[in-house]
Amino acid sequence: MTYDHNFTGFEATVISTTDSAIVGIPFYINIDKSSTPAKWSYYTLFINSDKQYRLKVRLNGGEATDVYDWTTSEAIKKPTEKNTILVYQDKEGNLIIKINGTQVEIIRPNDLLLKQGDVGIITPVTYEQLTAKTDFTSTYEFKKFQY
């Protein structure tokens, strides 16, 4: 991949082996290592099988809070189908979130709580999966990754 001076963000695809999975991608991860334990701050974008997404933020090791609660979008496919997530900053500093090519959110620079940081992956499990001890896999592929 060549460096694109006009792109700051990431593009990832995610697919799961079960439709009951909730998949998520934490991004803008910042870790304050000056305290013990270290304090984590990050956004997490979740998608579920009800064609909904949710954006949460965790600041300085505190509780995660909703930036956007579960919101329906026809752009979202089942977790067993490939979903493409694109998160990037435009030239004006807006944070753009697209799912399968459809813009679902824009966060203006003054509303951004975190600066650019790392990106991670997360697959929360449902209570039913824990109690049934159901195995499942979620696969993530990062196609663009540039900060």
Largest CA distance in the chain: 48
pLDDT at 103 over 90: yes
pLDDT at 74: 95
Put the strands of the sheet holding 52-58 in their side by side order. Answer: 65-72, 52-58, 39-47, 23-32, 118-119
State whether residue 128 is helix, strand or coil: helix
> In angstroms, how far is CA 5 from the centroid of its own chain?
23
Strands 39-47 and 52-58 come out as: antiparallel
9-56 pLDDT, tens digit each: 778 888 877 777 677 777 777 778 888 888 888 888 888 889 999 999
**CB contact at 8 A, 125 and 18:** no
**Among the listed ranges 8-12, 55-59, 101-105, which one has the minimum average pLDDT value?**
8-12
pLDDT at 97 over 60: yes
Distance, CA of 75 to CA of 98 (rounded, Å): 9
